[in-house]
Amino acid sequence: MNFVTWFGVLAVDEKGTVSECDLFQKDRDELAKQLVNTEVVNANKPPLGFDLRAAAVECGFVGSNEEYDELLRDVGIRAAKEQISRSGTTDMRIIQSVEALDDIDGVVNALSERLAEWYGIYFPELDLTTEPLARFVSKYGSRSNISPDDSLYEKAATSMGAEISDADEELIKAFAVNVCNLYETRNSIEAYLIQIVTSNSPNLAAIAGALLGARLISLAGSLERLAYFPSSTVQVIGANKALFKHLRARAPSPKHGIIFNHPLIKNAPWWQRGKIARAVAAKISFASRIDLYSGKLDESLEVELARKLEVIRAANPKPPKKVKKSGGAKSGSKKVRRHG
Amino acid sequence: MGVTEISSGIFTIIKGDTKQLATKNLVPGVSVYGEKLVEVEGDEYRSWDARRSKLGAMVLKKFDIPIAADSKVLYLGAASGTTVSHVSDIVPEGIVYAVEFSTRTMRDLIQLCDKRPNIVPILADAAKPRLYAHIVEMVDVIFQDVAQPNQAEIAALNAKQFLKKNGFLMLAIKARSIDTVASPKKVFKEEVRKLELDFDVGFEIFKMYELTPYHEDHLGLVAKMRPENRNNKI
């Protein structure tokens, strides 16, 4: 029986002694490549109880136990490094971008609020927030810099805000410039995500939207894992807290996880949301599977989803009547929105 | 300050009325994950936090640790190598095969392997031992900490492939990764039953304890393969 080891292809006779050894070249990089080569990984492996180390010495591949340890360790490290450098997939780029987007959102909101409070000392009448505010401050600094033909001139001239010193103006302007940069980075990450998801997973992008698609891939861990999930899981990913509360205690099951952000669900009346979430999740599953295996855009998915929605809407035009439970039981039908 | 060896390569350092678990540093001067380095009587020791290591907790729970200075150890679920580094300290004349599936944590593990002479990193799925059977030899000890729902099966598959007849399996079972809802006691009982009866190789369990207070809802156990199971199947 022939089988492969990290140092060569061997054969043993009926007694289990090595009868043939076809050794690999003793080049560390070559050995490392062999080690993780799919053909080798999937090839016939040594029989149970086979002593690799003794065979390596017997075949003359290494001269001693120490050499065996040293060589195998070095080859193992090289092989693992090779595998790692090969693992930087599109999915990982998508996941890191989504995470970066969320991080920036968190930070930029906090900084914008700070800027609003800070600049409010000098120009409280200014009715701007978030990105427009940051742009305004980084452009003008002091409200005395607003030119007379600007629509804000009147407000600025009569403001009750404090006078700003040069040092303060410089500081707050630099702060605002940084906030602006963060908004710009955020927008370019978003554009990048839309582009990469649309080209890599066209069906997912068509059904879920590129950004929601990216989030689903990120939460699942990869497009492959998302495709392998049952769509009941797709329906509730991102609603972990509600789901486990449901499994552990008597809480109602969550209707939607992150897919709540899908405009079809978000904008639906509350009594249709669960049904629509189920339909959308089912189509997302289809879409991610097509993307994983063929990658070609299948336009029939969207058509089918639209038809399914028609059916749901037609069947549930009015909110269901709330059933009052008798016998003093707590009414459990209170509307609770569950996601996140 | 005094030091006692409580098991081969594993020490307690006594300083006043505090005791600290430690291993002798194989690579003096280097701290792996920010642990304290302590010098006693000319030797450098790395302190070992049982709360960060299931093996460490098993030591404090008075398990007999079947690892000797020249042991060959297959470590499944090596993660970033916190515990692996201590195992590497315990086996200065042996070797540790460290299997980890996640490329992210393997990045950290490789940094560790680069600095130590006796760890072989293997980026592979521990549930598929045939896929690394061309690398790993027969070992004296399998230590497994994989937090997978089928961890008993993973242990059996690897033991069948790699464990010497008289070798030991050391297993940390995480109840929450098998069933998030069921009571841990029930989960442990079921896992132990599986290890004894369900697979090609059956285990005889020598000792098991829950690892509280160091790790919640974890069971540690030490087992050996029952000899009769070994021969009836290849």
- At A186, give phi and psi (nearest 5°): -60, -45
Judge whether B101 lies within some domain. yes
Domain shared by B64 and B43, yes or no: no
Domain count, chain B: 2
Closest CA to A297 of A286, A281, A307, A309: A286
Select the residue of A4, A70, A84 nearest B106 (Cβ to Cβ): A84
Domain shared by B10 and B115, yes or no: no
Judge whether B195 lies within some domain. yes
* Sheet containing B37-40, strands listed edge to edge, beginning at the edge strand earlier in sequence: B2-7, B10-15, B18-24, B43-47, B37-40
Closest CA to A337 of A277, A288, A292, A295: A277
CB–CB of B114 and A77 under 8 A?
yes
Residue with tokens 């080798």: A40
Tokens of A211: 């950004």
Substitution target in A12, A28, A57, A77 with the highest count of B β-carbons within 10 Å is A77
Domain shared by B15 and B117, yes or no: no
Q: What residues contact residue B59 under an 8 Å CB cut-off, 6+ apart?
A: B6, B7, B10, B21, B50, B65
Select the residue of B110, B133, B137 nearest A80 (Cβ to Cβ): B110
Closest CA to B172 of B128, B208, B213: B208
Closest CA to A294 of A196, A193, A194, A203: A203
Closest CA to A75 of B137, B72, B135: B135
Tokens of B57: 């907790």
Residue by residue, DSSP assigns A96-129 as HHHHHHHHHHHHHHHHHHHHHHHHHTT-TT----
Instruction: List Cβ<8 Å contacts ≥24 apart for B183-187.
Output: B184/B210, B184/B217, B184/B219
User: How many whole angstroms separate alpha carbon B72 and alpha carbon A198?
Assistant: 50
Can you say how many angstroms the Cα of residue B90 is from the centroid of all Cα atoms in its chain?
Answer: 11
User: How many whole angstroms separate alpha carbon A51 and alpha carbon A116?
Assistant: 71
Distance spanning both ends of chain B, measured CA to CA: 53
Q: Is B153 exposed, middle or buried (0-12, 13-18, 19+ CB in 10 A)?
A: middle
DSSP state of B129: G
Domain shared by B82 and B69, yes or no: yes
Q: What is the pLDDT of residue A328?
A: 45
Tokens of B115: 């600095």
Judge whether B190 lies within some domain. yes
Cis preceding linkage at B213, omega within 30: yes
Domain end point (choices B10, B30, B48): B48
Q: What is the pLDDT of residue A18?
A: 87
Residue by residue, DSSP assigns A62-97 as -SSHHHHHHHHHHHHHHHHHHHHHHT--HHHHHHHH
Q: What is the pLDDT of residue A337?
A: 54
CB–CB of A84 and B181 under 8 A?
no
Q: What is the pLDDT of residue B6?
A: 93
Domain shared by B65 and B42, yes or no: no
Burial A35-64 (b: 16+ CB within 10 A, else e): bbeeebbeeebbeeebebbebbbebebbee
- Give the amino acid at A124: P
Q: Which structural domain range is residue B223 located in?
A: 52-229
Residue by residue, DSSP assigns A231-252 as HHHHHHTT-HHHHHHHHHSSPP
Domain shared by B61 and B12, yes or no: no
Q: Are A201 and A288 in contact (CB under 8 A)?
A: yes
Closest CA to A76 of A3, A5, A6: A6
Tens digits of pLDDT across chain B (234 residues): 789 999 999 999 998 889 999 999 999 999 999 999 999 999 999 999 999 999 999 999 999 999 999 999 999 999 999 999 999 999 999 999 999 999 989 999 999 999 999 999 999 999 999 999 999 999 999 999 998 999 999 999 999 999 999 999 999 999 999 998 899 999 999 999 999 999 989 999 999 999 999 999 999 999 999 876 544 444
Domain shared by B72 and B128, yes or no: yes
Strands B119-123 and B95-100: what pairing?
parallel
Judge whether B222 lies within some domain. yes
Chain A residues with CB under 8 Å of B107 CB are: 84
Judge whether B123 lies within some domain. yes
Select the residue of B95, B181, B234 nearest A248 (Cβ to Cβ): B181
Closest CA to B63 of B192, B195, B223: B223
Domain shared by B40 and B56, yes or no: no
Domain shared by B89 and B37, yes or no: no
CB–CB of A45 and B122 under 8 A?
no
Residue with tokens 């540690």: B220
User: How many whole angstroms separate alpha carbon A244 and alpha carbon B58?
Assistant: 30
- Give the amino acid at B28: P
Judge whether B27 lies within some domain. yes
User: How many whole angstroms separate alpha carbon B201 and alpha carbon B159?
Assistant: 8
Q: What residues contact residue A186 under an 8 Å CB cut-off, 6+ apart?
A: A101, A104, A105, A108
- At A266, give phi and psi (nearest 5°): -60, -40
pLDDT digits (tens, 9 = 90+) for B30-75: 999 999 999 999 999 999 999 999 999 999 999 999 999 999 999 9
Domain shared by B20 and B123, yes or no: no
User: How many whole angstroms separate alpha carbon A14 and alpha carbon A261?
Assistant: 64
Q: What is the pLDDT of residue A203?
A: 96
pLDDT < 70 positions in chain A: 324-340
User: How many whole angstroms separate alpha carbon A86 and alpha carbon A266?
Assistant: 39
Judge whether B58 lies within some domain. yes
Please identify among residues 40-99 of chain B the ones whose CB lies closer than 8 Å to any CB of chain A: 95
Q: Is A244 an 8 Å CB contact of chain B?
A: yes
3-class SS at B77? coil
Domain shared by B106 and B35, yes or no: no
Please identify among residues 11-40 of chain A the ones whose CB lies closer than 8 Å to any CB of chain B: 35-36, 40
How many beta carbons lie within 10 A of that of residue A6, not counting itself? 25
Q: What is the pLDDT of residue A149?
A: 87
ipTM: 0.92
Judge whether B234 lies within some domain. no
Residue with tokens 């599109």: A90
Q: CATH number for the domain including B22? A: 3.30.200.20
Domain shared by B25 and B99, yes or no: no
Substitution target in A6, A31, A35, A70 with the highest count of B β-carbons within 10 Å is A6
Q: CATH number for the domain including B83? A: 3.40.50.150
Can you say how many angstroms the Cα of residue A228 is from the centroid of all Cα atoms in its chain?
Answer: 16
Dihedral angle of Cα B164, B170, B176, B177, to the nearest 10 degrees: -30
